[in-house]
Amino acid sequence: MKAKGNGDSGYDPFRARLMSAAPFLLLRCGFAMLFILSCIVMTAEAWAKAEMLQTICGERSGTCVPFQLTSAEADRLVASGLSVPFYAYFSAVLDGVRYIGFLSIALLLFLKKSRDAMPMYASFTLAAAAPIFSLGYLEYTSQTFHVIENFVFIIGWILIMPFFYLYPSGRFVPKWTRILFVPWALIAIGMTYFPGSVLDPGSWPGWLDVPGIVFFHVSAIFAQLYRYRKHSDFQEKQQTQWFVFGAVLVLVGIPAMGLLEFIFESNPTGILFAQLGRSVIPLALPCAIAIGILRFRLWDIDILWRRTFIYAGMTIFIIATYALTAASISELLRVRDNFWSSLFAAALVGILFQPVREWVQRIVNRLFFGDREEPYAVLARLGKLLEGTFHQDDVLQVLCSTIREALKLPYAEVLLQQGDSFVTAASSGVHSPIEVKIPFYHGKQLLGFLQLAARSPGEGFSSKDRSLLEDLAGQAGKAIANVRLSEELKQSRTALVKSREEDRKRLKRDIHDGIGSNLAAFHMQTYNLMKSIRSDPDKAVRIAELLRQEIKSTIMEVRRIVYDLRPHALDELGLVAAIKAYASNLTFENDSLLITVDAPEPLPVLPAAVEVAVYRIASEALTNVQKHASADRCTVRIQVGEGVRLEVSDNGVGVPSTYVAGVGIFSMMERASEIGGTFEMSSKPGKGTRISVTVPTTGEINQ
């Protein structure tokens, strides 16, 4: 069954609390003791390494320890501008950097989340794991410290492999990996305390030694990959990716450094570089855990610790990089004078410090904050993605995904207004508590809100974040408005097509049921008339009279159909005269109403659709005035510019506040909308009513 996320209400070892007082106190004391012992081993190991590497190979014990120089190598080192003490102390400092990296993260987890089972296990593992990568210098200098080192070593060796099977949720995945713990622990004990025994891989035959150890390492990577594919949610997948990357880097990097040592066997500067790799590469493991802790909120570590740890890591990185650069330059230029070599290295460090700091800062910003430092790149990327997007849902989804990925956020959503409320129209990521709500507009119209979750609990959005979000919201508002206009245009076109189809159906019905039936009747009556002319003249006269009346009725029906298609007055009189004629008919019926038509004479040639729409709207508006306004004056104004503007105003009783628009108002709005026009009606009780319509005269209307 798939592992449940953080929202699971059931038992989860990832969040299991160590609530019992006695075991909790015992574990805290145990960690404190282990941490102190690791610090002692770190100090003693660094001191022993510095002491051993200052002596020439074979001078003290008759044997050479790892990285100890021969007389010829020491002379070559001095000739390159570096001293033997510098070589020794630099090597010791590199080991100290490795120890500090492991111990810092172990202490961080212990101080902040020691009541959680998995963080406590990680604390023990990291505190004891640093000596695993040591080369045993204490064996040659102090047996007491060597015993302590072996004790810490065996704890780290036993704990580190199961950590691969448990990280990050605290469950053994796959389940069969739990049976590997016992043989792994026995091997660790055998190789530490019983060398040469059957438990020591060094005593195994060659066909079993290497494959046996490789099996455990492969099983560790396999467990993480299997967890990633089968059991991890989104957040755990991000943590697993970093952890596997760090583990692979260690498994590949350490042998690579061994190969480098072989290549630079007689080159002290090359050996320094190999030691740098041996010390820095193991830090990939704690750093991978740290990235999971800091970037992906593993075990909910506080934000302050994240900033502190990252900048400490950046400082260590810069120091190590500059030390390597100085050593390489000295070897390359063969500077023999230590003073001038050191001065040159210091100058190089001064030159490179600021560019490297800015480069590291950009990496840190991109890792934690995404692309907020490059707002124009984000805007350009969003614009490019929106270029081929023609649906509102797609625009909103692109907006959510782009913002979430650009700012490294866990969740983003867009709310759009529906009725009196706002509903989620698109979202991206794993739902998390909302931290910020950004409105987006088109002009002064509020379209909706962009809601975002913080990168981690309690972390707000900086001014840079908000500035970028406002820019993105502005661009998104324009895109959404354009898409809406496009969709409204499509809907308008669809409505127009439907309206035309309805007109065709109505015309077909009128012709077929009205004129068609009448013509069929004419045919029969004409036949009867022909038969009755000689035999019964009186009957023939009656048939002829009936036929005449029906022909007259059919003519009126044809006129009605034609009038519905286009008022005949427009063809006979023109638009202005037709409106005046219609107004005269109304004033004839109501002599107390004075209608004035104000329009330029002559009007320019207008598209037929515009003429019909203006005439129909004006006729409907005047009819409303005559029936409902109780007005004594009404003015019709027509203005022609880029479009035609029609205004019908009266001094009547106005429209009451409780008025509900009827069929007449809707028909005027529909006629204006069909040809891309606008319709406005304003009224105040007792102060008359004004209807304003604007319709275009260019573009598709002319066609």
Instruction: Kindly indicate the confidence band of residue 223, based on its pLDDT and cuts at 50, 70 and 90.
Output: confident
User: 9, 11, 18: which is closest to 116 by C-alpha?
Assistant: 18
pLDDT, tens digit, 9 for 90 and up, residues 157-206 = 888 888 888 887 778 888 888 888 788 888 878 777 777 777 777 777 76
Q: How far apart are CA 199 and CA 182, in angstroms?
A: 12
Q: Provide the 10 A C-beta neighbour count for residue 205.
A: 6
Q: Where are the domains of the chain?
A: 13-291, 302-369, 375-482, 495-565, 572-701
pLDDT, tens digit, 9 for 90 and up, residues 404-463 = 777 667 788 888 777 677 777 788 877 777 777 878 776 777 777 878 887 665 556 666
Residue 667 has a pLDDT of: 79
Query: Which H or E element spans position 474?
Result: helix 463-509
Q: How far apart are CA 283 and CA 277, in angstroms?
A: 10
At the fourth CATH level, which superfamily is domain 375-482?
GAF domain (3.30.450.40)
Residue 13 has a pLDDT of: 42
Instruction: Kindly indicate the confidence band of residue 634, based on its pLDDT and cuts at 50, 70 and 90.
Output: very high
Sequence-separated (6 or more) residues with CB below 8 Å from residue 19: 115
Residue 19 has a pLDDT of: 45
- Could you give phi then psi for residue 8, rounded to 5 degrees? -70, 135
**Lowest-pLDDT range, 371-385, 479-493, 554-568?**
371-385
| Arithmetic mean of pLDDT over the chain | 73
Instruction: Kindly indicate the confidence band of residue 6, based on its pLDDT and cuts at 50, 70 and 90.
Output: very low
Please give the average per-residue pLDDT across 467-482, as a whole number.
73
- 242 pLDDT more than 80: no
pLDDT, tens digit, 9 for 90 and up, residues 308-356 = 445 545 555 555 554 555 555 555 555 444 444 455 555 555 565 566 5
495-565 fold: 1.20.5
**Lowest-pLDDT range, 67-76, 110-119, 365-374?**
365-374
Q: How far apart are CA 314 and CA 293, in angstroms?
A: 17
Residue 33 has a pLDDT of: 92
13-291 fold: Rhopdopsin 7-helix transmembrane proteins (1.20.1070)
Portion of the chain with pLDDT greater than 90, in percent = 3
Residue 5 has a pLDDT of: 39
- 635 pLDDT more than 80: yes
Residue 638 has a pLDDT of: 92
- Check: CB of residue 662 under 8 Å from CB of residue 627: no
Please give the average per-residue pLDDT across 487-510, as a whole number.
69
Report which DSSP code applies to 2. P
In single-letter form, the type of residue at position 169 comes to S
Please, what's the b/e burial string for 97-121 (b: 16 or more CB within 10 A of its CB; e: otherwise)?
Answer: bbbbbbbbbbebbbebbeebbbbbb
pLDDT, tens digit, 9 for 90 and up, residues 563-601 = 666 777 787 888 888 888 888 888 887 788 898 999 888
Residue 248 has a pLDDT of: 75
Q: CATH code for 572-701?
A: 3.30.565.10
Peptide bond into 174 cis (omega under 30): yes
pLDDT, tens digit, 9 for 90 and up, residues 287-316 = 777 676 555 555 444 344 445 445 545 555
Q: State the distance between the two ends of the chain, measured CA to CA, in whole angstroms.
A: 65
Residue 293 has a pLDDT of: 59
Report which DSSP code applies to 605. P
User: 605, 619, 603, 564: which is closest to 701 by C-alpha?
Assistant: 605
Residue whose entry in the numeric block shows the structure tokens 């990296």 = 101
Residue 649 has a pLDDT of: 92
Which residues are paired to 640 by β-bridges?
Answer: 644
Please give the average per-residue pLDDT across 81-103, as a whole number.
83
Query: Which of 76-80, 108-112, 152-156, 698-702 is predicted most confidently?
Result: 152-156
- 540 pLDDT more than 60: yes
- 95 pLDDT more than 60: yes
- 387 pLDDT more than 80: no
**Lowest-pLDDT range, 217-221, 378-382, 403-407?**
378-382
User: 432, 564, 556, 420: which is closest to 502 by C-alpha?
Assistant: 564
Sheet harboring 411-418: ordered strands across? Answer: 421-429, 411-418, 445-453, 434-442
3-state DSSP assignment of residue 259: helix
pLDDT, tens digit, 9 for 90 and up, residues 638-688 = 998 888 999 999 988 887 766 666 677 877 888 888 788 888 888 887 788
Residue 703 has a pLDDT of: 37
User: 255, 233, 621: which is closest to 429 by C-alpha?
Assistant: 233
Instruction: Kindly indicate the confidence band of residue 692, based on its pLDDT and cuts at 50, 70 and 90.
Output: very high
pTM: predicted TM-score of the whole model, two decimal places: 0.45
Assigned token pair, 99: 């120890």
Q: What is the 3-state secondary structure (H, E, C) of 63-116?
A: CCCCCCCCHHHHHHHHHCCCCHHHHHHHHHHHHHHHHHHHHHHHHHHHHHHCCE
